[in-house]
Amino acid sequence: MAETNHTSSATNNDCNASSPNVPENERVTLNRRQAMQLITSAATVPALAFAAVPASAAGLDRSTWDAEYARFKAIDSEYERHIVAEERACEAVDAECPREDRFFDDCDLRIGMKREAVVWHARHAVAEREGFNGLVLFPKESALISNRKADALRAEAERIADEFMAYQERHNEAWERHGVDGLREVAEEYRPLWFAARDRFMAVPAPDVEALLVKFQIAGTWVDDDYVTSSFEDARRLLAQGNA
Sort 44 into a burial class: Cβ within 10 Å, 0-12 / 13-18 / 19+: exposed
**Cα distance between residue 70 and residue 204, in whole Å:** 13
For residue 20, pLDDT beyond 70: no
For residue 55, is it within any domain?
no
C-alpha pair distances (Å), 207 with each of 56, 106, 192, 220: 8, 56, 27, 19
For residue 244, is it within any domain?
no
For residue 53, pLDDT beyond 50: no
pLDDT at 176: 97
pLDDT at 59: 55
Count: domains in the chain: 1
**Cα distance between residue 136 and residue 92, in whole Å:** 40
For residue 237, is it within any domain?
no
Q: Averaging pLDDT over each range in 14-28, 112-126, 140-154, which range is the top one?
A: 112-126
For residue 204, is it within any domain?
no
Give me the domain span that covers residue 134.
Answer: 8-15+61-191
Q: What is the helix, strand, coil percentage profile of the chain, to 5?
A: 70, 0, 30
pLDDT at 188: 95
- pLDDT tens across 151-187, in order? 888 899 999 999 999 999 999 999 999 999 999 999 9
Q: Mean pLDDT across the stretch 71-79?
A: 94
Mean pLDDT of the chain: 76
For residue 130, is it within any domain?
yes
For residue 2, is it within any domain?
no
pLDDT band at 230 (very low <50, low <70, confident <90, very high): confident
DSSP state letters, 7-24: -----SSS---SSPPPPG
Decide: pTM greater than 0.75: no
Sort 184 into a burial class: Cβ within 10 Å, 0-12 / 13-18 / 19+: buried
For residue 233, is it within any domain?
no
Q: Which residues contact 231 (CB under 8 A, 6 or more apart)?
A: 206, 212, 215, 216, 219
Q: Which amino acid is at 128?
A: E
For residue 111, is it within any domain?
yes
pLDDT at 164: 98
